[in-house]
Amino acid sequence: MSHKRLYYQLIPVVLLLIALAVWLQPDLFQRAAGINLPKGVNPEFKQTLKIDKPCVDLHPEWRLAQNIDGVKISESRLCEPDNPYDVAAFVLGMNNISMPTLMSTNIAEDALIKSDDLDSDGDPDIIHIKLEVLELNGATPDSANVAPQYEIAPGILPGMWAFSPKLRGMSVKNFRSVKLNAILRAPSPVIRIEQGDKVYITLENTHYFPHTIHFHGVDHAFKTSKGGDNDGVPVTGEKAVMPGKTRTYELQPRHAGTMLYHCHVQTDKHLMMGLVGMFVVEENRPNNWVQTFNVGAGHVRYSSVAIKEKYQREYDLHYQSIDKNLAKTIQHSNDIREISKNMHRVYNMSESNENYFLLNGHSFPYTLRDALIIAKPDENIKLRVANTQHSSIAIHIHGHKATITDYDGVEQNPAAQITRDVFHLAAAQRLDLKLQTTNDGLHSYGEGVWLFHDHVETAVANDGMSPGGNIALMVYENMLGATGLPMIRPDALDDFFTNRYYAKKQALWGKKEAGTFSPNSLQLILFALLLGTIVGLIIFIVRGLKGAK
């Protein structure tokens, strides 16, 4: 009996210990800072750190001005200049180039046929063009990665599509590589033809979804000469071009200017995926061989006769945006039914964002490799600007004011042309700009490395990580290095050419991030001992009461 009382007497002790435990309860998962804040840590980055060279400089010989099969190709001092053999092939047509030139390209022999000087003015007037549909960074059943791989910026590989001139051979650099040949890239290539040419454009649908081509602003009849679909809209014309099928569209543009072409199937998605490109109709001139494709847009290494009359250089600037959620819809399955459902029905574009912003298929810092505007003082430079984003763009070139000569491929009355420093383009609009490098305090403030970018600030970041997006540079030749990079502060680009920076795993300005407190081990151990004591005591009491008579 007396034993039982002893056990009962222990109960208040248990309660007291519980009260003590509650009072001494340590912070288990988070703690308020006292006098000292946590020391700070570098963000944890689990992937292997990759540091790119700003310029890999694979083909320095491509930069030179050169004559290939009689085509005088201008110098292109970019880090990644266009392959001059491709340029020669695009000027002459695959049927007019030499065998060595053909062997230096990845273009199919029937991709571009130029023939029949109908008006006897020294250039071909019947042009046959064949386009394929590329997928970049799509799903693969053989790896957790995407394939074939196309980085728009370090470590950023969104799923994309692009039209492409018909190719031949391997699309990747070699059997062991997942990296694409330079010709397989975003954006869809700029197509250039001469005013009055009879152009036959065949879509060879190499992709797993149906597509079409619609020519936006380019003079074309509603139906082909044989009564086929010629506007590319499945609602008003024929059904879409199914996978494995082809369709030929016919054009004979009477009006010159900067236009567009794009897929018109599930247009919202397919356009944003990248099936949209610039379409330039050059003014008719004698002996006017035009560079039919400008792959990757940017510098035009062989301008038309009419452009050469007025300008020293010409650049095609294709602005494009990507919704990362749309881009993901092609990256998670190899079942086309699943992909179709995820892209066309689960994904809802009315709830979309634009996360990546590209100029000529790259986002900063990769724009530095191939999207520079290179200039010398006292030049006239032709810029053809197209906005294929959802959102408007407001392009600003530091240190310069340029003149808008054409809106949507229509020349503005010269007396009414506007010179300004922000160029606003709504979705699908085009502007032709005359950029003068006369250092007169108005058109130019002199030589330099001048940023040019969209002033809609969401667009100068890669998924919100700045600097990125469509930032590029206008570089005067006296400040351009041998490998096509600007002469800037040597450490200026160090942060950006890593996969860590755009994964948002690098604290800025050399500062660390706050990180965590370490646990107060002694307090935790004492607390656990106390809890153990309480539990032990309860067991002791319960067992004791049961055993006591």
Partner 1 sequence: MKAFTLFLVFISTPLFAAMNHGGMIMDETGMIMNHNPDILPKDCPKISKDIDITIRAGQQYSKDFAGKMFTYDKRDWQVPGCARVNVTFINDDDIRHQFMIHGLPGYMYPKGMFTIEIYGKGQKTASFIVPSRDYTYYIHCEVSQHTEKGMKAQLKVGKSSGDLNSILGLTAALTPDIYPINNTQITWLSMLISFILGIVFILYVGNFLRLKLGK
Q: What's the min distance (Å) between Cβ of 495 and partner 1?
A: 21
103 binds, among Cu ion, partner 1, none (CB under 5 to 8 A by kind): none
172 binds, among partner 1, Cu ion, none (CB under 5 to 8 A by kind): none
345 vs 511 by CB, closer to partner 1: 511
Residues near 262 by Cβ (< 8 Å), separated by ≥ 6?
Answer: 188, 213, 214, 216, 270, 271, 275, 276, 277, 388
What residues does 320 pair with on adjacent strands? Answer: 358
CA angle 26, 29, 32 (to 5 degrees): 70
Q: Three-state SS for 102?
A: helix
| CA dihedral of residues 298, 312, 255, 107 (deg, nearest 10) | -40
Q: What's the min distance (Å) between Cβ of 505 and partner 1?
A: 17
Q: What's the min distance (Å) between Cβ of 262 and Cu ion?
A: 8
Positive/negative CA dihedral, 327, 329, 333, 334? negative
128, 270, 500, 505: which one binds Cu ion (CB under 5 A)? 270
Q: What's the min distance (Å) between Cβ of 503 and partner 1?
A: 21
Q: Three-state SS for 449?
A: strand
Euclidean distance between CA atoms 524 and 517, whole angstroms: 14
Token duo for residue 465 = 């990580």
Euclidean distance between CA atoms 322 and 22, whole angstroms: 53
**Largest separation between any pair of C-alpha atoms in the chain:** 126
143 vs 518 by CB, closer to partner 1: 518
410 binds, among partner 1, Cu ion, none (CB under 5 to 8 A by kind): none
Site string for Cu ion, 68-107 (x = CB under 5 A): ----------------------------------------
Burial class for 174, CB neighbours closer than 10 Å (0-12, 13-18, 19+): exposed
126 vs 507 by CB, closer to partner 1: 507
What are the start-end ranges of the E strands in 183-229?
190-194, 198-204, 214-216
Site string for Cu ion, 293-332 (x = CB under 5 A): ----------------------------------------
| Orientation of helix 521-547 relative to helix 2-24, angle to 10° | 160
487 vs 539 by CB, closer to partner 1: 539
Q: What's the min distance (Å) between Cβ of 36 and partner 1?
A: 8
348 vs 518 by CB, closer to partner 1: 518
Euclidean distance between CA atoms 515 and 175, whole angstroms: 44
Euclidean distance between CA atoms 311 and 384, whole angstroms: 12
Stretch that binds Cu ion, among 243-251, 258-266, 291-299, 455-463 (CB under 5 A): 258-266
Q: What's the min distance (Å) between Cβ of 473 and partner 1?
A: 30
CA-based nearest residue to 427, from 133, 153, 216, 189: 216
CA-based nearest residue to 322, from 276, 376, 383: 276
305 binds, among partner 1, Cu ion, none (CB under 5 to 8 A by kind): none
441 vs 510 by CB, closer to partner 1: 510
192, 211, 247, 313: which one binds Cu ion (CB under 5 A)? 211
Q: What's the min distance (Å) between Cβ of 42 and partner 1?
A: 13
CA-based nearest residue to 470, from 542, 375, 392, 404: 392
Euclidean distance between CA atoms 377 and 9, whole angstroms: 98
268 vs 283 by CB, closer to Cu ion: 268
Q: What's the min distance (Å) between Cβ of 2 and partner 1?
A: 9
265, 272, 290, 307: which one binds Cu ion (CB under 5 A)? 265
270 binds, among Cu ion, partner 1, none (CB under 5 to 8 A by kind): Cu ion
530 binds, among Cu ion, partner 1, none (CB under 5 to 8 A by kind): partner 1
Task: Tell me, by CB under 5 A, how many residues bind Cu ion.
Answer: 4
Q: What are the phi and psi torsion angles at 91 (to 5°)?
A: -80, -45
521 binds, among Cu ion, partner 1, none (CB under 5 to 8 A by kind): partner 1
Residues engaged in binding partner 1 (CB under 8 A)? 3, 6, 27-40, 512, 514-519, 521, 524-537, 539-540, 544
Euclidean distance between CA atoms 319 and 428, whole angstroms: 10
Cα distances (Å, whole numbers) of residue 243 to 203, 204, 209, 240: 11, 8, 6, 9
Q: What's the min distance (Å) between Cβ of 532 and partner 1?
A: 2
Stretch that binds Cu ion, among 178-186, 259-267, 307-315, 520-528 (CB under 5 A): 259-267
37 vs 221 by CB, closer to partner 1: 37
Token duo for residue 61 = 């010989």
For the chain, state the CA radius of gyration: 31
169 vs 536 by CB, closer to partner 1: 536
Q: What's the min distance (Å) between Cβ of 530 and partner 1?
A: 7
Task: Determine, following the binding rule CB under 5 A, whether residue 373 of this chain makes contact with Cu ion.
Answer: no
263, 278, 433, 503: which one binds Cu ion (CB under 5 A)? 263
407 binds, among Cu ion, partner 1, none (CB under 5 to 8 A by kind): none
Query: End-to-end distance of the chain based on CA atoms, in angstroms?
Result: 6
37 vs 65 by CB, closer to partner 1: 37
23 binds, among Cu ion, partner 1, none (CB under 5 to 8 A by kind): none
Site of interaction with Cu ion (CB under 5 A): 211, 263, 265, 270
